Amino acid sequence: MAQTLLASTYLGALDRCDRCGAQAYVRAVLAAGELLFCAHHGREYGEKLSRDALLVEDNSSVLRSSSGSAAA
Protein backbone atom coordinates (compact mmCIF):
# COMPACT_ATOMS: atom_id res chain seq x y z
CA MET A 1 0.00 0.00 0.00
CA ALA A 2 1.70 3.15 -1.18
CA GLN A 3 -1.26 5.46 -1.30
CA THR A 4 -0.89 9.02 -0.13
CA LEU A 5 -3.73 10.71 1.61
CA LEU A 6 -4.45 13.76 -0.51
CA ALA A 7 -7.81 14.88 0.76
CA SER A 8 -9.22 14.84 4.23
CA THR A 9 -12.62 13.24 4.39
CA TYR A 10 -15.00 12.06 7.03
CA LEU A 11 -13.17 8.75 6.81
CA GLY A 12 -9.69 9.54 7.96
CA ALA A 13 -6.34 7.79 8.01
CA LEU A 14 -7.22 6.19 11.31
CA ASP A 15 -10.25 4.46 9.83
CA ARG A 16 -9.26 1.00 8.69
CA CYS A 17 -10.84 -1.71 6.59
CA ASP A 18 -12.33 -4.39 8.80
CA ARG A 19 -11.12 -7.04 6.38
CA CYS A 20 -7.55 -6.16 5.53
CA GLY A 21 -6.58 -3.14 7.60
CA ALA A 22 -6.06 -0.80 4.66
CA GLN A 23 -7.40 2.70 4.85
CA ALA A 24 -11.17 2.69 4.80
CA TYR A 25 -13.15 4.48 2.11
CA VAL A 26 -16.52 2.80 2.48
CA ARG A 27 -18.66 2.95 5.59
CA ALA A 28 -21.60 0.60 5.94
CA VAL A 29 -24.12 0.93 8.73
CA LEU A 30 -25.85 -2.34 9.51
CA ALA A 31 -28.48 -3.17 12.08
CA ALA A 32 -25.76 -4.89 14.11
CA GLY A 33 -23.27 -2.05 13.88
CA GLU A 34 -20.90 -0.30 11.57
CA LEU A 35 -18.36 -1.75 9.17
CA LEU A 36 -15.53 -0.04 7.36
CA PHE A 37 -14.03 -1.25 4.11
CA CYS A 38 -11.19 -0.18 1.89
CA ALA A 39 -11.98 0.64 -1.74
CA HIS A 40 -11.14 -2.92 -2.78
CA HIS A 41 -13.36 -4.62 -0.24
CA GLY A 42 -16.00 -1.94 -0.61
CA ARG A 43 -16.37 -3.06 -4.20
CA GLU A 44 -16.15 -6.73 -3.28
CA TYR A 45 -18.97 -6.46 -0.75
CA GLY A 46 -20.79 -3.58 -2.36
CA GLU A 47 -23.59 -5.65 -3.81
CA LYS A 48 -24.24 -7.44 -0.53
CA LEU A 49 -23.98 -4.24 1.44
CA SER A 50 -26.47 -2.48 -0.81
CA ARG A 51 -28.96 -5.17 0.12
CA ASP A 52 -28.18 -5.60 3.79
CA ALA A 53 -26.89 -2.29 5.02
CA LEU A 54 -29.09 0.49 6.32
CA LEU A 55 -26.67 3.01 4.91
CA VAL A 56 -23.61 2.79 2.69
CA GLU A 57 -21.31 5.74 2.27
CA ASP A 58 -18.85 5.13 -0.52
CA ASN A 59 -16.02 7.59 -0.39
CA SER A 60 -13.78 5.73 -2.79
CA SER A 61 -14.46 8.23 -5.57
CA VAL A 62 -11.73 10.38 -4.07
CA LEU A 63 -9.31 7.69 -5.22
CA ARG A 64 -10.62 7.69 -8.78
CA SER A 65 -10.82 11.44 -9.09
CA SER A 66 -7.31 11.92 -7.76
CA SER A 67 -5.66 9.29 -9.95
CA GLY A 68 -7.39 10.07 -13.23
CA SER A 69 -6.26 6.79 -14.76
CA ALA A 70 -8.58 4.31 -13.13
CA ALA A 71 -11.17 4.15 -15.90
CA ALA A 72 -11.81 0.52 -16.75
Give all strands of the β-sheet with 33-37 in edge-to-edge order: 33-37, 26-30, 55-58
Residue 20 touching Zn ion (CB under 5 A) = yes
21 vs 50, beta carbon nearer Zn ion: 21
Asked whether position 44 contacts Zn ion by CB under 5 A, the answer is no
Among 11, 17, 26, 28, indicate the residue that binds Zn ion (CB under 5 A): 17
Could you tell me the smallest distance in angstroms from the CB atom of residue 8 to Zn ion? Answer: 20
CB of 71 to Zn ion, least distance (A): 22
Q: Which residues bind Zn ion (CB under 5 A)?
A: 17, 19-20, 22, 38, 41
